[in-house]
Amino acid sequence: MTTVRIDLAYHGAGFAGWAAQPGLRTVQGELEAAIERVLGVPAPLTVAGRTDAGVHAWAQVASFTAESEPSETLARALNGLTGDDLVVHSVAVAADGFDARRNALSRTYCYRVLAAPVRSPFERGLSLHWPHRLHPGLLERCAEKVVGTHDFTAFTPTDTEHVRFERDVLQCEWRRGRMLGPQGGRVAPGDGEVLELWIEADAFMRNMVRVIVGTMLEVGSGRRDLDDLRRLLAGAPREAAGDTARAEGLYLAGVRY
């Protein structure tokens, strides 16, 4: 048997998440159907990060086992069968026993926030519009507090299958991003900006990044005290944290092996 690695990207708006679900269009369902059509046999996929409905991926990784090494044209063949919102970047033979999920050392997510008085049509579905006042310095201090090993019980739904709530956050920082628009510039120069939260951890729980962002935005806009975040990271219940930020601003940005 041959272990095969697939590197792919997708725009999450048209998918009900990664995991296959009867009657729904999902990334796993579409990709597995395409692989089976090309290879002629089922090929159940293992994935590095099970993204939720509406979440995007710049650098997702999946793996499966096959009877023989894949053809050099497999990536092109798969791209001919999937929609234009899902792209296979590469297909390659991996080391025996490689598992896209279990072998991942860390995952990195990016969350994009359009901090502007009015929406941008070019950012629709790609970032969270935040029209309220926002203090970047407070956001940066929030990011500093998140780095390290913490209890993230407050940042995932109460109804969960997780049994371990500690996660090791390796990096967390806010960066200024690039607003999409004509010639890559701003639609209204000087009237807003894109802020990006980049966070890397050993593992993530459902909605973890989105609740972190929602809570940080409350701190950054003066609706919540900075010390509240410290208390939340000590294992507070879910209802103590902020709102869950919308899925459209979240991207799986990378997986480290």
How large is the average pLDDT for residues 82-88?
96
Write out pLDDT tens, residues 115-170: 999 988 999 999 999 999 999 999 999 999 999 999 999 999 987 777 789 999 99
Q: How high is the pLDDT of residue 1? A: 87
Three-state secondary structure readout of 103-155: CCCEEEEEEEEEECCCCCHHHCCCCEEECCCCCHHHHHHHHHHHCEEEECHHH
Which domain-ending residue is among 61, 93, 125? 93
Examine residue 99 and state whether it is found in any structural domain, yes or no. Answer: no
Q: How high is the pLDDT of residue 68? A: 86
Is residue 75 domain-shared with residue 196, that is, in the same domain? no
Examine residue 190 and state whether it is found in any structural domain, yes or no. Answer: yes
How large is the average pLDDT for residues 100-106?
98
Which domain-ending residue is among 93, 119, 138? 93
> What residues contact residue 184 under an 8 Å CB cut-off, 6+ apart?
178
Q: How high is the pLDDT of residue 187? A: 47
CATH number at residue 79: 3.30.70.580
Which domain-ending residue is among 51, 68, 93? 93
CATH number at residue 208: 3.30.70.660
Per cent of the chain over pLDDT 90 is: 84
Is residue 120 domain-shared with residue 86, that is, in the same domain? no
Residue 192 pLDDT exceeds 60: yes
Write out pLDDT tens, residues 38-79: 999 999 999 999 999 999 999 999 999 988 888 889 999 999
Q: Could you tell me which residues are beta bridge partners of residue 6? A: 62, 91
Check residues 71 and 4 and name the one with the higher pLDDT: 4
DSSP secondary structure code for residue 247 in this structure = G
Lowest mean pLDDT: which of 24-33, 83-92, 178-187, 220-229?
A: 178-187
How large is the average pLDDT for residues 174-196?
72
Is residue 143 domain-shared with residue 67, that is, in the same domain? no
Q: Which domain holds residue 47?
A: 2-93
Q: Which two tokens stand for residue 53?
A: 């409905």
Examine residue 83 and state whether it is found in any structural domain, yes or no. Answer: yes
How large is the average pLDDT for residues 8-18?
98
Residue 104 pLDDT exceeds 50: yes
Q: How high is the pLDDT of residue 189? A: 47
> What residues contact residue 89 under an 8 Å CB cut-off, 6+ apart?
7, 8, 9, 75
**How much is the mean pLDDT over the chain?**
93
Number of compact structural domains in the chain: 2
Is residue 35 domain-shared with residue 111, that is, in the same domain? no
Check residues 86 and 185 and name the one with the higher pLDDT: 86
Examine residue 74 and state whether it is found in any structural domain, yes or no. Answer: yes
Is residue 73 domain-shared with residue 117, that is, in the same domain? no
Q: How high is the pLDDT of residue 181? A: 67
User: pLDDT category, 178, cuts 50, 70, 90?
Assistant: confident
Examine residue 191 and state whether it is found in any structural domain, yes or no. Answer: yes
Active-site residue set: 52
Q: How high is the pLDDT of residue 191? A: 64
Is residue 115 domain-shared with residue 153, that is, in the same domain? yes
Specify whether the CB–CB gap between 195 and 115 falls below 8 A. yes
